[in-house]
Chain A
Amino acid sequence: MSDERGGGGRGGGRGRDKKDDKGKGEGRRTFSRRRRVCKFCADKIDYINYKDVRQLAGFIPERGKLQPRRISGACATHQRKLQTAIARARQLAMLPYVTD
């Protein structure tokens, strides 16, 4: 993070040696950050079923709240589908609204 900011700060030099800068940036970025793939996309799940409690249970932390996307790792489409599925399952008392 701090590396990146250092690069951006030299705004004046950017125009002059653009090529050089770019090369450096790419070199820096190659340190391996694992790319996160949405679990539903990876498993090719197109329909998240609200009746399948076992499937949903994996995305309900202990407290019973919804898991944010940054933790569940789901893509927008699947997070949305997951949300509705969980909401429906809750209404049918298959999942808790809250657990204390």
Chain B
Amino acid sequence: MTQERQYELVYIAGPDSSEEEMADLHTQVEQIAARFNGRIEKTENWGKRRLAYEIGRHREGVYVLEHLYGTGEMTREIDRRLKVSEVVVRHLIVRVDEDLDVANRATSRRKEESVRRRVARGLPPEPDPSERRGGDDDMDGDGGMEDMR
């Protein structure tokens, strides 16, 4: 139950939060993590961003992402504190280790499979860039950008 897991925490503070408030929030999270023998691995500040919809009366928010290691109890406490906080308008804690594990396994399995097949065909295990088939980016992304607007 008290196993260490990897989490991602994103919180959104109101657009007019001061630097101090942001720093304060960060130390709060850090302290809670430390109390539960967890740690913050990395912090990313995305700055002020437009919200896709209004939260409360805000149209913008300051996003911060924290990569956390710790126990479930730690996240529960962080969750509780952020709910109470008046600076934070929205937050989300996501456990990521399992998803990343699955993704890594899929990647390595595919790589192994490709190596196996290439060797079976008598090719060197790694494809070199010249034999890549191109022209698959015609459908990519461009339709999506229009949808967003």
Where the two chains meet, the residues of A that have a C-beta atom closer than 8 Å to any C-beta of B are 39, 42-44, 46-47, 50-51, 54, 57-62, 88, 90-97
* CB-defined contacts of B141 to chain A, threshold 8 Å: 54, 58
Q: CB distance B147 to A51 under 8 Å? A: no
Dominant secondary structure of chain B at its interface with chain A:
mixed
Q: CB distance A93 to B92 under 8 Å? A: no
* CB-defined contacts of A57 to chain B, threshold 8 Å: 144-145, 147-148
Q: CB distance B147 to A92 under 8 Å? A: no
| Docked pose: A44 CA to B136 CA in angstroms | 12
Complex interface residues of chain B between 100 and 139 (CB less than 8 A to chain A): 100, 102-104, 106-107, 110, 136, 139
Q: CB distance A93 to B90 under 8 Å? A: yes
Where the two chains meet, the residues of B that have a C-beta atom closer than 8 Å to any C-beta of A are 10, 12, 49, 51-53, 55, 61, 63, 65, 90, 92, 94, 99-100, 102-104, 106-107, 110, 136, 139-141, 143-145, 147-148
Q: CB distance A62 to B92 under 8 Å? A: no
| Docked pose: A97 CA to B90 CA in angstroms | 15
* CB-defined contacts of A97 to chain B, threshold 8 Å: 53
Q: CB distance B90 to A91 under 8 Å? A: yes
- Closest residue of A by beta carbon distance from B149: A62
